C-alpha cells in the first residue's frame, strides 16, 4: 500500500515537471500586424510622402501685347483726327474770310447748310468747305467735343470757333471785338462780343487744317 502511494506520487511529479518543461518550449503566438491590404492596389501607403518635389520654378509668361489697330473706319477729315494750331496760313485765311462774307445776309433756317439758308453749324461747315477743308457736317456740340480748346490771345485769332448758350450756338471769331455767325433773327451776320453775347460764351476751340 505504501509502495503504491509512492509510485503514484512519483508519476504525478514527473507529469507536472514534463508539462512545465513543455510549456516553456512552446513557441509564443504573437498577433499579426495589419499589412495595409485594405487599401487600393497600387496606392502608396503615404501619398504625401511619395509625392516628388518640384525641381523647376514655374514662371508665368506675360500675355502678348495687343496689336494697335491701324485702320480707322472714320473719314480722314473728321474733326476728331485734327490737332490744334495757332493761326491759318494767309492764303487759307483769305479764302475762309471770303467764304464768310459772300454769305452775309443769307437767312437763317434750322438744319440748313446752304446755299440759300444756314443754321450756325451749317455755316461753319459750309465756309470751311469753300476754303478747301471739308469735314463731316455735325452739330455745335459735336464740334466742341472734337476740337481743341485754346486760351489767351489764340481765342481771338481769325477762324477760331466760339461757342455760346450751353453749346447750342457757334460762331467764327473775326478778331477780339466780334465774330460771324448765323443768327436766328438776322441770318448770317457779324456781332460784337460785348453786351448780349459776352454773357453767353462757353469757350473757344480751334481746328487744324494744315493750311
pLDDT digits (tens, 9 = 90+) for 156-199: 999 999 999 999 999 999 999 999 999 999 999 999 999 899 99
**pLDDT above 50 for 100:** yes
Read off the pLDDT of residues 120-167 as tens digits, 9 standing for 90 and up: 999 999 999 999 999 989 999 999 998 999 999 999 999 999 999 999
Cell matching residue 110: 434750322
The residue written with cell numbers 513543455 in the block is 22
Contact yes or no for 45/37 (Cβ under 8 A): no
* Spans of all domains in the chain: 79-206
Reported pTM: 0.62
**pLDDT above 80 for 211:** no
**pLDDT above 90 for 210:** no
Whole-angstrom Cα distance, residue 32 to residue 65?
Answer: 66
CATH, domain 79-206, list 3.90.1720.10, 3.40.50.800, 3.40.50.2000, 3.20.20.120:
3.90.1720.10
- Binned at pLDDT 50, 70 and 90, residue 32 comes out as low
- In three-state secondary structure terms, 177 is coil
Among 173, 116, 163, 118, smallest CA distance to 143 is for 163
CB atoms within 10 A of CB 177: 12
Amino acid at each position: 500500500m505504501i509502495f503504491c502511494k509512492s509510485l503514484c506520487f512519483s508519476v504525478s511529479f514527473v507529469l507536472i515537471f514534463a508539462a512545465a518543461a513543455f510549456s516553456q518550449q512552446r513557441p509564443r503566438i504573437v498577433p499579426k500586424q495589419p499589412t495595409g491590404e485594405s487599401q487600393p492596389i497600387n496606392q502608396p501607403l503615404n501619398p504625401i510622402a511619395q509625392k516628388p518635389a518640384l525641381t523647376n520654378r514655374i514662371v508665368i509668361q506675360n500675355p502678348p501685347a495687343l496689336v494697335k489697330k491701324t485702320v480707322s473706319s472714320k473719314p480722314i477729315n473728321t474733326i476728331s483726327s485734327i490737332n490744334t494750331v495757332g493761326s491759318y496760313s494767309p492764303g487759307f485765311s483769305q479764302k475762309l474770310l471770303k467764304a464768310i462774307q459772300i454769305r452775309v445776309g443769307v437767312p437763317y433756317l434750322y438744319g440748313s447748310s446752304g446755299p440759300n439758308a444756314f443754321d450756325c453749324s451749317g455755316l461753319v461747315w459750309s465756309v470751311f468747305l469753300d476754303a478747301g477743308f471739308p469735314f463731316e457736317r455735325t452739330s455745335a456740340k459735336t464740334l466742341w467735343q472734337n476740337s481743341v480748346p485754346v486760351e489767351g490771345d489764340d481765342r481771338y485769332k481769325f477762324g477760331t470757333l466760339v461757342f455760346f448758350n450751353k453749346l447750342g450756338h457757334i460762331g467764327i471769331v473775326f478778331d477780339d471785338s466780334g465774330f460771324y455767325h448765323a443768327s436766328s433773327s438776322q441770318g448770317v451776320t457779324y456781332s460784337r462780343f460785348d453786351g448780349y453775347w459776352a454773357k453767353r460764351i462757353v469757350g473757344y476751340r480751334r481746328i487744324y487744317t494744315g493750311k
